[in-house]
């Protein structure tokens, strides 16, 4: 995934790319952006969500996440993703083989997600 090359990862050297496919068929991408404070690092998934939402898109069909080992989204990113629906797919991609290594529904990755006044 091309955006993975733009990841800013001087601390972990672990670049991640994420691409959201919106219901309107557009793709919004993001990469991880690390910070010297560590805690202010932005994951690729949240970067992609910000890109999509800033463009006016809030509904998507899928998000693909590419990394060296095809990692799953962290807990914080799962919570940010479920803000925008429980019904889209999460595709994990091994960036070395460029193969999809796993597919989930976001609802499977965060059962019992926090909702304000459900």
Q: Which of 1, 20, 21, 43 binds ligand THU (CB under 6 A)?
A: 43
Nearest to ligand THU of 24, 76 (CB atom): 76
DSSP 5-61: GG-B-TTT----EEEEEETTS-EEEEE-B--TTSTT-B-HHHHHHHHHHHTT---EE
Q: Is 45 a catalytic residue?
A: yes
* Shortest distance (Å) from residue 34 CB to ligand THU: 5
57 binds ligand THU (CB under 6 A): no
49 binds ligand THU (CB under 6 A): no
Helix and strand numbers (H, E) in the chain are: 3, 5
Give the residue numbers annotated as catalytic, written as ranges. Answer: 45
């Amino acid at each position: 995934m091309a955006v993975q090359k733009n990841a800013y990862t001087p601390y972990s050297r672990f670049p991640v790319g994420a691409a959201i496919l919106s219901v309107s068929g557009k793709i919004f991408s993001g990469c991880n952006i690390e910070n010297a404070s560590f805690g202010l690092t932005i994951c690729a998934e949240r970067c992609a969500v910000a890109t999509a939402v800033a463009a006016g898109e809030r509904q998507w069909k899928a998000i693909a996440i590419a990394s060296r080992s095809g990692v799953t989204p962290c807990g914080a990113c799962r919570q940010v993703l479920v803000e925008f629906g429980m019904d889209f797919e999460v595709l994990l991609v091994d960036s070395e083989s460029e193969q999809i290594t796993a597919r989930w529904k976001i609802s499977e990755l965060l059962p019992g997600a926090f909702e304000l006044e459900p």
